[in-house]
Structure 1
């Protein structure tokens, strides 16, 4: 064999070896990317996880589970581009989840592609899950496309019980967006049954639209009231400044709709669907402060605090909701363990000449979280001074008296605490939380037991299914010697909150008092699982020695 042929054979063999190794590397790359994506997901690095899944998805376009992971991670991260790629991959194989068409609709509305928007809305109706939103979606799309009277289209829609309240809100907003000012304002005022925070949001949005249309007086009239958010919006309009948070375009309107649906979906706990919906709401209207606030709340609720803070950065300083965003920011910093940073920011805000009672309330909350009860009480006291000077409504005053009373009580100043709690009660005689707090605080001190029981009985009438209040009532019966009724009531409380330490300790004490010692020890052991350090020491003594005056629950 010639040297040339031998060399050629070696080169060929080497090339084949390199080719095989290259194939193995290419085959390994998607696996490596997938592993890295899973590690990033486990470490809560959503952007890296979403990007990794998207890379693997390109190599495995038929893997539906992978595409769904990429979609959910991208939605949580707020990565619209990656979410859209994953959604299209899922859609091509009939695997798009129910919120997916809303994402595609957001893209169509952003591009003002009204034909595609109409097709997607028809699809949403056909797929049924979000069909109750379709009348409102079609009305806003009609407004964007200048296709007839959007209000008439809304009124002509077939009624759906799920969509009734959404339609009522958006009928008013569409009228205002269309320039039907008198009718729109009247319809908006008729929504006074809405929760106060929601009503405030709608009034500010409507006023922003009126101010933009140079109807300053109408805008100011719509913002009448003592709510600090209304006052802040009123001040901006009076000064001639622009007010963000308008709802005048199709994107604005649909964003507002989706935000409310997301909040309704997440009443009990944060879900992937709820997170996807609030992210979609930001895609429809990137300037919608409500969408960013809801996004931040939900992201923080699942431990994504950095993303939650990033969402709050989207709320501009000139937005009436900027104070709400700042308060939420401080809470998230505390959850992250950055309490000193949060406290420094809060002190800076209260040091301003235009500091509001809400700024001082936030400071009080922070001091409370840090266990600095005396300083918390002082901050709530200053909040009360400012609130009363501003003639804040009763609904703002009684919580401040309750907070101040609670801080004083936990700080050991019971006489002052009782005075504050009684003021809260005078302002809010039908608030179960006030009745229960004042009643139970007296039970703990074994004073005015008859009056304390009456307060708690009233609280229980208002909230009969509240385990905490039911426990207070059972404990009142116990302390006043009505053991059969105490046990029946405490057992009901334990059924409502089986793992709660105080309830189980109270029930154990009641069992012991009637000779049911085995059941008493069982209840005390259940209490020990969740008890704090001081209470745990007392419960262990009871388990060793039995119930005595020294080991009795508070």
Structure 2
């Protein structure tokens, strides 16, 4: 039993002295434990609690539905299925649980019981969203029963409330299997330029390789090389296959289970993208947000992995969500199954390292990243992440050495993200008191990315902090503020530049705004204390410095703050 549940039981049961109320108390405790676990994204605990609550109250449909859903989100398909069967068997509104139907259909599909899977899907569905997932699943059932051409015909006639954004990808896969190459090509192109996602991009590249269209395939992969993450790694692998003259067989013959898995994954990934975008916009607007909720995408990704355990896109989606939820053990279990040959290997190992860092296990994160680099020497993001881990642990010499190798591998034509390498190395040079080297790297970052707020801000701030090139520093920082008007770090830089000029009245306006946007940043809070001191607001200054000490500043900043708390700031004449 988790600590959360144990504490809740202790509180609920402390006053329960009457045996006749034991069943009611048990139900209440389990149900509330389930709600609490769900609220903090403890999916496994929620599944266990709702399961116990259902045993105590088998007639409560809402509890039954929660028991089903959280077992599914936890990846416990075999445990979720009996609850789904009960929901469907109840009839009435309960039988409209489309997610329960889609899980039962997916299980029948995986077991080869295609007609039974179709019969399950023909029941009522409560939302167009779930109905749309069921529609694509039924298309692949048709492919298994009557062949790809019949499935294509079925794909052409969706109901009006079916979302058809993912249909081009499935049409492309079916068309190639049916030998309709021109139709497959057109559908692939529509998919890539619409909602095909990583599966659509990979499938189109493999299709071009098989068609022997080397010129188009190379041009396509060269285009993908400019993209970050798995797209670039897939492009590198595709170009290597073209060089060897060995075309990919990926997605050439897609089984009904694999096709349905792609459908479940696509809907889950789209929901994540939409939710992340909404959260980002809400944060930019100044809203205070609670814990993220990605339970439905997680459930869909679980079904996708159940149908096709080799679908790395779904595996990574599961791992990423579990990392966000703080279930680092579950995330690692999902991500560890991604092989070095996969375009997703690099990002999977980075996610695993982030989980270790979140648990304050930096040595293990470093070992994991070094082993991943040994298995994937071309992993640029692996090296970049390793350098950041070293820097975070104060090992700036190792960070610089790692970034030296990374920048050297980038060659004379660095990728679009290479400015980050120079900013990171410049930051470590600053910590090593190598200002000329740092300045050169930060200037190179701005040269590579003249419209990147982070690069502009870092160079502008570094100049402002030293009181040099202040006019140019203002230009860079003001441009960064224009690009990122709600960035506390960037607004802090603008305030600090005014501070360096001695214009404390202007500085305090920006530093107070920066502190409001980033209340947990030790450096910004320290800066606010400094400007308060210069304005004669010494009590407020000491308060801010004490707050900064509570925000876990680095060793150097901590020492500076402690000195200021003891002696205050030196007079401006002696500063």
Instruction: Tell me the TM-score range normalised by the shorter chain.
Output: 0.7 to 0.9
- Quick check: 1:261 aligned with 2:278? no
In structure 1, the residue matched to 2:461 is 440
Matched, 1:240 2:243: no
Cα pair distance change 1:185/1:420, threshold 3 Å: farther
- How far apart in 2 are the matches of 1:173 and 1:482? 64
Show the counterpart of 1:18. none
The SS at the match of 1:394 is coil
Larger radius of gyration: 1
Q: Deviations over 1:523-551 (max 9, x none)?
A: 5565454252654565566567654459x
Aligned 8 A contact 2:101 2:121 in 1? yes
Give the length in aligned residue pairs: 517
Counterpart position of 2:5: none
Matches within 5 A, 1:433-472: 433-472=454-493
- Cα distance change of structure 1 residues 276 and 493 upon mapping to structure 2, 3 Å threshold: same
Alignment partners' CA distance in 1, 2:392 and 2:498: 32
Q: Which moves more between the two structures, 296-305 or 443-452?
A: 443-452
Counterpart of 1:361 in structure 2 is: 384
Match of 1:203 among 201, 204, 208: 201
Residue 71 (structure 2) aligned to one of 70, 74, 78: 74
Aligned residue in 2 for 1:502: 523
Residues 185-216 of structure 1, C-alpha deviation per residue, up to 9 Å, x if partnerless? 45555677779xx86653223334566xx435
1:87 is aligned to 2:108: no
C-alpha contact (below 8 Å) 1:432/1:463 kept by paired residues: yes
- How far did 1:419 drift? 1.3
Change (3 A) 1:164 1:48: closer
Quick one: structure 1 residues 167 and 522, their matched pair in 2 at CA, closer, same or farther if it must change by over 3 Å?
A: farther
Task: Name 1:228's counterpart in structure 2.
Answer: 233
Q: Aligned to 2:211, which of 212, 215, 219?
A: 215
Kindly state the Cα deviation for residue 406 of structure 1 after the two structures are TM-superposed.
2.3
> Which residue, out of 472, 495, 504, partners 1:483?
504
With normalisation by structure 2, the TM-score equals 0.73
Distance 1:258 1:351 in 2: 35
* Equivalence for 1:6: none
* Separation in 1, partners of 2:371, 2:164: 45
**Shift of the alpha carbon at 1:299?**
0.8
What is the deviation of 1:431? Answer: 0.8
Q: State the shift of 1:435 in Å.
A: 0.6
- Matching of residue 411 in structure 1 with residue 416 in structure 2: no
**1:90, CA displacement in angstroms?**
4.2
Question: Could you tell me whether the CA contact under 8 Å between 2:81 and 2:104 is conserved in 1?
Answer: yes
Counterparts of 1:511-530 in structure 2, within 5 Å, are 511-516=532-537, 520=541, 523-524=544-545, 527-530=548-551
Correspondence 1:25-424 to 2 at 5 A = 50=47, 54=51, 57-58=54-55, 60-64=57-61, 66-91=63-88, 92=90, 94=93, 99-110=99-110, 111=112, 113=114, 116-117=117-118, 120=121, 123-124=124-125, 126-128=126-128, 130=130, 143=143, 146=146, 166=166, 179-186=179-186, 188-189=188-189, 201-208=199-206, 214-217=210-213, 220-221=217-218, 222-225=220-223, 226=225, 227-236=232-241, 238=244, 240=246, 248=254, 249=256, 250-267=259-276, 268=279, 269-351=292-374, 354-388=377-411, 391=413, 394-424=415-445
CA contact (8 A) 1:206 1:247 kept: no
Residue pair 2:318, 2:334 contacting (<8 A) in 1 also:
yes
Taking the aligned partners of 1:135 and 1:69, their CA distance within structure 2 comes to: 24
Of 497-506 and 415-424, deviating more is 497-506
Provide the rounded CA distance (Å) in 1 between the counterparts of 2:470 and 2:312: 49
Whole-angstrom CA distance in 2 between matches of 1:545 and 1:533: 20
- Gaps of at least 5 residues in structure 1 are 1-23
Deviations 1:310-365 (A, max 9, x none): 11233234433233323333333444444334433433454569544344334323
Whether contact under 8 Å (1:456, 1:473) holds in the other structure is yes
Cα distance between partner residues in 2 of 1:265 and 1:199: 13
Q: Is contact 1:296–1:307 with CA below 8 Å preserved after alignment?
A: yes
Q: What is the aligned partner in structure 2 of residue 15 from structure 1?
A: none
In the alignment, the residues of structure 2 paired with residue 510 and residue 171 of structure 1 have an alpha-carbon distance, to the nearest angstrom, of 63
Q: Secondary structure at the match of 1:395?
A: coil
Aligned to 1:61, the other structure's residue is in SS state: coil
Cα offset, 1:374, TM superposition:
1.1
In 1: Cα distance, 2:249 partner to 2:429 partner: 40
Q: CA 1:476/1:73 → structure 2, altered by over 3 Å: closer, same or farther? A: same
Q: 1:309 to 1:413 in 2, by over 3 A?
A: same
Indicate the SS of the match to 2:416: helix
Shift of 1:490: 2.9
Residue of structure 2 equivalent to 1:11:
none
Q: TM-score, normalised by structure 1?
A: 0.76
Work out whether residues 268 and 297 of structure 2, in 8 Å CA contact, stay in contact via their aligned partners in 1. no
Shift of 1:296: 0.7
Q: Note the C-alpha offset of 1:103.
A: 3.0
How far did residue 383 of structure 1 move? 1.2
For the Cα contact (< 8 Å) 1:501–1:528, is it kept in 2? yes
Change (3 A) 1:548 1:301: same
- Describe the shift of the 1:539–1:500 C-alpha distance in structure 2 as closer, same or farther (beyond 3 A): same
Separation (CA, whole Å) in 2 of partners of 1:130 and 1:484: 57
Contact kept in structure 2, 1:478 and 1:486, CA below 8 Å? yes
The alpha carbon displacement at 1:434 in A equals 0.7
| Structure 1 residue 366 displacement after superposition | 3.4
